[in-house]
Structure 1
Amino acid sequence: MPPYPTGSWMPVALSADLPAGTVMPAQSPAGPVALWRSRSGRAAAFADRCPHRGMRLSHGFVRGETLSCIYHGWGYAQAGNCLRIPAHPALTPPDTIRVATQPVEDGGGIIWISVGEPAAGPPRFEGLAPLRSMMVEADIAALEAVAGTKADGDLLDYAGNAPTIRLLLAPQGQARTLVHVLVAEGSSQAERIAASRAAEALRRAAEDIAHGGIAR
C-alpha cells in the first residue's frame, strides 16, 4: 500500500457492512486493522494483533463496548486499554497493556481511518449514497484505462452501460484496489442493479488488463 500523508483519511468500509456488535478485518495505511462496532454503535479501529499472544483481533468478538480476543478472551475498551483478563478476574490490568488505535470517522455511509491526528474531517459526498464495496485485483491505472478518464483525487467516474457511477478508490498494494461504489441518492432499485452490474463489468475489465489480457 502506498504511503498516505499523516492525517489523511482512507475509506476502509461501508457503514452497512459493520453492524453493531461485529468486527471485520480491514487494511489501513499503517497496516492491518480490526475494525469493530460496539453494541451501542460506535466504530473503532485497532491494530490487528492482541498484545498477549499476537492473535488477530479481527477474529475476536464484541461484548458490549469492548472487543475481546478469541484466544484467551482479553477484552479491550475503544481507547485500546485492556479491561479484562478472564484468567485473572480479580486483576485490574495495568494501563501499559493496550492496543494501538487509529482515528475513525463514520459518516455518509462510509467508515474512514486516519493515520495520525487529522486536521479536518473526511470528505462528504453530497447527493451520493454508497451502494457496495468490492476488491479489484488491479491498480488504479487499470481502472482508469477501462473508465477512459483519470481519477479526480480518490474519485473515478464510470458510465459503462448505466447512469454514471462514482467510484471511491482506496489502493491496497501494488495491484489491488478497494472500490466503494457510489450512486445518486434516491436511485431506483433498477438503477442500483444497473450500477452494480456496471461496477462488476469494470472490475472484470480492469483485472483483464492487469493480468495481461484484453478488456471485455
Structure 2
Amino acid sequence: MLTSPGTTGFWVPVALSSDLPAGTVVPARIPAGPIALWRSQSGRPSASADRCPHRGMSLSHGFVRGEALSCIYHGWSYGPAGNCLRIPAHPGLTPPEAIRTVTYPVTEAEGVLWVAAGEPAAAPPTLAGRVPLRSLTVFGDIAAIEAAAGAKASAEGLMEAGGITVLLSSVRDGETLVHVLVDANAGPADRIAAARAAEGLRRKAEDFQKKGAER
C-alpha cells in the first residue's frame, strides 16, 4: 500500500547513488519531512531528520567525519543510529542517550538510494535491467507529469514517457523529483537522447502545472 505517490510501501527514491559520494551530506525529503542524507567515509548511507536537537540547525548543512554526521553550528556529532557521539564544548562528556536525532531506514539498490518513511512493507522495486542516468526536479506534481507524458505512473512510481523510463518521487505539493532511467546497455547517443527527452518532459509538465494553477 502506498503512503504517497512515487513510493513503494513506505520506500521513497530520494537520490541516485552517484549523487552521494563517501563523506558527503545532501538535503532530501520524504513524506515525513526534510532529511539529511549522508554517506560515511566507509560508504554506509544514512538518513537523519534535518534538524540538530541542540539548536535546530539543518544537519544537511553539516559535514561528515569518519562514521558520524556533525552539525555545522556547534559541531555536535551523531552516528547512523541517531545517538549523539560527541559535544566539542564538553570533550570529556559521554553524551546522554536522550540526545538523539530521528533516523530512517535506508537501502541502496541498482544505483538508487531509498529511504523508508515508516516500516517498509516490502523491498524497493527492481529496475529490470535499467540504470539511473540523472535526476531532475520538476516544478509540477505527479499528475502534471502524467498529463505531459500521456501515461500513468505505476504504484512504484515507474512510468514510460515518450521513449524514456522515469522513477517519480513527490517532494512536496507542486514539486516532483524525477530519476531518469536508461537500459544498462544504452550507448552515448541513447543517453543523450534520454536526457533531452527528460528536459522536454520537464518543460511540458511545468507548463501543465502552470495552466492548472491559472484556472
In structure 1, what residue type is equivalent to 2:124? P
State the match for 1:158 in structure 2.
161
Which residue, out of 48, 52, 59, partners 1:57?
Answer: 59
Whole-Å separation in 1 of the counterparts to 2:87 and 2:119: 30
State the match for 1:10 in structure 2.
12
- Equivalent positions of 1:125-136 (< 5 A) are 125-136=127-138
What are the superposed Cα offsets for residues 125-151 of structure 1, whole Å, 9 maximum, x if unpaired? Answer: 121000011100111121112211222
Structure 1 residues not aligned, in runs of 5+: none
| SS of match in other structure, 2:95 | coil
Which range is displaced more, 6-15 or 178-187?
A: 6-15
Whole-Å separation in 1 of the counterparts to 2:22 and 2:72: 18
- Equivalent positions of 1:99-114 (< 5 A) are 99-114=101-116
State the match for 1:44 in structure 2.
46
State the match for 2:203 in structure 1.
204
In structure 2, what residue type is equivalent to 1:208? D
Q: CA RMSD in A?
A: 1.6
Say if 1:45 and 1:113, in contact at 8 Å, map to a contact too. Answer: yes
User: Following TM superposition, where does structure 1 have runs of at least 4 consecutive aligned residues deviating by more than 4 angstroms?
Assistant: none
Task: State TM-score, norm by structure 2.
Answer: 0.93
Report how many residues are paired: 208
State the match for 1:194 in structure 2.
193
Task: State TM-score, norm by structure 1.
Answer: 0.92
Q: Which has the higher contact order (CA 8 A, sep 6+)?
A: 2
Whole-Å separation in 2 of the counterparts to 1:41 and 1:90: 29
- Deviation, 1:116, is 2.0
Whole-Å separation in 2 of the counterparts to 1:168 and 1:133: 9
- Deviation, 1:121, is 1.7
Structure 2 residues not aligned, in runs of 5+: none
What are the superposed Cα offsets for residues 32-83 of structure 1, whole Å, 9 maximum, x if unpaired? Answer: 0000000000000000000000000000000000000000000101110000
Instruction: Say if 1:98 and 1:7 are closer, same or farther in 2 by CA, change over 3 A.
Output: farther
